Structure 1
Amino acid sequence: MKPVFHPELINDVFGDPAVYVDFLFEKRALLFDLGDLRNLATRKILRIRDVFVSHAHMDHFFGFDWLIRLCLGREMRIRLFGPARFLGQVEARLAGYTWNLVENYDTDFTLDATEVLSDTRARSARFRCRTGFRRENERELALSDGVLLDEENLTVRFCLLDHKIPCLGFALQEKLHVNIWKNRLDELDLEPGPWLQGFKRAVLHGLPGNTPMAARRRGGDETTYRLDDLAGTIAHISTGQKVAYVTDAVFHPANAERIVGLGKGADQFFIEAVFGDELAERAARKFHLTAAQAGSLARCAKAKFPVPFHFSPIYHDRENELREEFERAFRGQLNPSPLQQGL
């Protein structure tokens, strides 16, 4: 299965948290967290359409100004999502600058921000360049099943975590993966083209199997198939890709249950591993996970490819210690005693 989402850490494991997820077939990307973005090429930043911020500690929100700086003056809209008080934090950052000339801009760069108030409630507002980024269109939103973003073939879900403040974990899920077999197209003398996007949409929307589908033959002629006949011949349809992201959460039973539920079956699971297990008490005081706790949570979630990150700088010369501890816990060779609570 050729993955649709291509996630990557922007910084090394000791740097500010931020994961860039590029979309294979769209001129689009999203971000998990807004740490330092200066290692990310401008062309990549300009693909960003959605940003999911776990919380507004500086190492997770420092890149906000750089994002605005590069997008200002362009006809773009970016959706931002964060925890309670997020609207005020976005507003305050924007209010720190003078916007007296923006009403003359030809473009109207826009931010649509949403703050998660609870598992079932959110509030959104708009900030437009031409109005000096004043807060507009504020409204309350109902949330269901943890869904923040629901599009034709993807969802982004959240869970509320305890970092002594509300902190959000996120999971990006492709609803279905439709892989076209080129050799089957050749056998049917069908030509790849825009009609395949219509076919994929019909599959994703769950249209009836007898729905007629127009396909284009080589040479330009059209032919018609039943949807289920075409799907059974030219495509492999499977569960879609999942990318989960969790950082800045203390270990306790409620957090553990939510983290495991969010990351369940993830193809890539980015999860913080701040301290070694020998500093478990320090991790608890600072409301972070140890590498052993993170590895065991990823194991419980049955993640395929977990990615530990957000290492404490005190391990700068001992990075392998954290990685080895994480891997041992993920393989079930290490069970840190705090993890036995509630799992």
Structure 2
Amino acid sequence: MSMDLTFLGTGSAYPSPHRGASALVLRTEGDCWLFDCGEGTQTQLMKSQLKAGRISKVFITHLHGDHLFGLPGLLCTISLNLSPSPTQPPACVDVYGPRGLRHFLRVALSLSGSQLLFPYAVHELQPTADQCPPESQPADAPEASATESRHPQERPGRTIPLDVARDCYPLLEDERFVVVAFRLFHRLPSFGFSVQERDRPGRLNTQLLRDLGVKPGPVYGRLKSGESVTLESGRVVTPDEVLEEAIPGRKVCVLGDCSALVGDGPLQACRGADVLVHEATLGDGHRERAVEHGHSTPKMAAAVARACRARKLVLHHFSQRYKPLSLGTEGGEDDVAELRRQAEEALQDTGTEVVLADDFLTIPIPIKRLH
């Protein structure tokens, strides 16, 4: 199964002529999961090779506008481009994010009289008090009241508390993926998301099967799927006998804005990540200012990558002072390549690759190969 990450916006605070606001898409076999949806995300989607109608899940890291303001418009655009089938109703779009997201969408869609041709559900994460400064606690994320009217296409969503034992928020599990969220510290409660692909069955030992007299056919498929089979001789063949070592699933972790991790959950969820996406708003020379505003520098991001042993660290969410390399502004304190150098210096003995994200950069995530 193919898997890749496409960055639609890599700038902080607001969209600019050079960078869009925060948004990236994880694509697996054509199915698209959107992480954050800053203003202008739908325009960025139209400039990319991705299709908005393929978005089936949205994950919002926190409620700052540069990560959120594009969501109502994007949902409306998806609806406008939808061609309803009389025999197959449209699938529900699941939206995950902090407490207050449900209320935000209800108000935005209601006041604008927006109609949708597909159902959606908002699943809210309950933050803890240690995810933001005390002054940011009061009424920063109002809950939708019991008497507040749902949008006609809104389906009931879950309210997800912290699983204290695991220090994470279990979001979904299916036959392909396990997805959890974890806590980050920012000026508003912020979250990160870990997408863990399930392990793949190893290859069949076809020579052993031939020796056992098993011919290619449906039996091979049953064994590959983990089912034992009984041969005509009465011999029971189990998958463990004929399957080689399982192929570990891939792991992609996307962190929201943060100046620190909260609890043990983030490192547990991100351990061994194939790709770790982490903000680096300002260079290390501006660390004090970055932390004051709840942000990170390249060396801070590198420290997280080192702690969780990530294979690849992708930096994004750059201050507008750093122009993309494509503009030819190399050299000097505001050279975006300097951010990569700072992270690489902090990771030079680890083998972790450092990548600078740019708008429309696509990073393939290949299937792991056993040596």
Residue 309 of structure 1: how far off its partner (Å): 1.0
Alignment of 1:224-263 (within 5 A): 228=238, 230=239, 232-233=241-242, 235-251=244-260, 254-255=261-262, 257-263=264-270
The structure whose residues are more often helix, as a share, is 1
- The one-letter code of the counterpart of 2:60 is V
Change (3 A) 1:195 1:117: farther
Separation of aligned partners in 2, 1:225 and 1:10: 55
- Is the aligned partner of 1:20 residue 2:36? no
Match for residue 228 of structure 2 among 212, 220, 226: 212
1:133 maps to 152
1:42-79 C-alpha deviation (Å, 9 max, x unpaired)? 85322221111101222212331124312344423100
Change (3 A) 1:292 1:48: same
Partner-residue secondary structure (3-state), 2:62: coil
- Is the aligned partner of 1:328 residue 2:314? no
Separation of aligned partners in 2, 1:265 and 1:297: 11
Separation of aligned partners in 1, 2:4 and 2:157: 33
- The one-letter code of the counterpart of 1:163 is H
Separation of aligned partners in 2, 1:224 and 1:45: 53
Q: Tell whether the 8 Å contact from 1:161 to 1:258 is kept in structure 2 after alignment.
A: no
Residue 6 of structure 1: how far off its partner (Å): 2.0
Separation of aligned partners in 1, 2:51 and 2:62: 23
1:83-121 C-alpha deviation (Å, 9 max, x unpaired)? 121111121221232257x7xxxxx401111111147xx
Deviates more, 1:142-151 or 1:240-249: 142-151
2:308 maps to 301
Unpaired runs of 5+ residues, structure 2, are 12-18, 85-89, 129-142, 145-149, 324-328, 330-334, 351-371
- Coordinate RMSD, CA, aligned: 3.6
1:91 maps to 106
Matched residues, number: 296
Deviates more, 1:254-263 or 1:47-56: 254-263
Q: Tell whether the 8 Å contact from 2:230 to 2:237 is kept in structure 1 after alignment.
A: no
Separation of aligned partners in 1, 2:259 and 2:347: 18
Match for residue 74 of structure 2 among 37, 41, 66: 66
Q: Tell whether the 8 Å contact from 1:84 to 1:166 is kept in structure 2 after alignment.
A: no
Q: Tell whether the 8 Å contact from 1:242 to 1:267 is kept in structure 2 after alignment.
A: yes
Partner-residue secondary structure (3-state), 2:321: helix
Separation of aligned partners in 2, 1:214 and 1:63: 56
Change (3 A) 1:89 1:200: farther
Alignment of 1:1-343 (within 5 A): 4-12=2-10, 14-24=19-29, 27-35=30-38, 36-40=41-45, 41=48, 44-64=51-71, 65-72=73-80, 73=82, 74=84, 75-99=90-114, 108-118=117-127, 132-133=151-152, 137=156, 140-141=159-160, 144=163, 145=166, 146=168, 147-180=170-203, 190=216, 196=221, 199=223, 201-202=225-226, 211-213=227-229, 228=238, 230=239, 232-233=241-242, 235-251=244-260, 254-255=261-262, 257-316=264-323, 317=329, 318-331=335-348
1:3-34 C-alpha deviation (Å, 9 max, x unpaired)? 6532222235653222211113xx52212212
Change (3 A) 1:138 1:313: closer
Partner-residue secondary structure (3-state), 1:115: strand
1:249-289 C-alpha deviation (Å, 9 max, x unpaired)? 013xx538554333211011111111111101110111000
Separation of aligned partners in 2, 1:184 and 1:153: 29
Identity percentage of aligned residues? 24
Change (3 A) 1:142 1:276: closer
Unpaired runs of 5+ residues, structure 1, are 103-107, 126-130, 203-210, 216-221, 334-343
Partner-residue secondary structure (3-state), 1:39: helix
Separation of aligned partners in 2, 1:313 and 1:224: 70
Separation of aligned partners in 1, 2:245 and 2:58: 31
Change (3 A) 1:51 1:134: closer
1:281-316 C-alpha deviation (Å, 9 max, x unpaired)? 110111000111101211111001111111111122
Q: Tell whether the 8 Å contact from 2:61 to 2:191 is kept in structure 1 after alignment.
A: yes
Separation of aligned partners in 1, 2:114 and 2:70: 20
Change (3 A) 1:235 1:63: farther
Residue 245 of structure 1: how far off its partner (Å): 0.6
1:338 maps to none
Residue 244 of structure 1: how far off its partner (Å): 0.4
- The one-letter code of the counterpart of 1:328 is E
- The one-letter code of the counterpart of 2:44 is N
Residue 226 of structure 1: how far off its partner (Å): 5.0
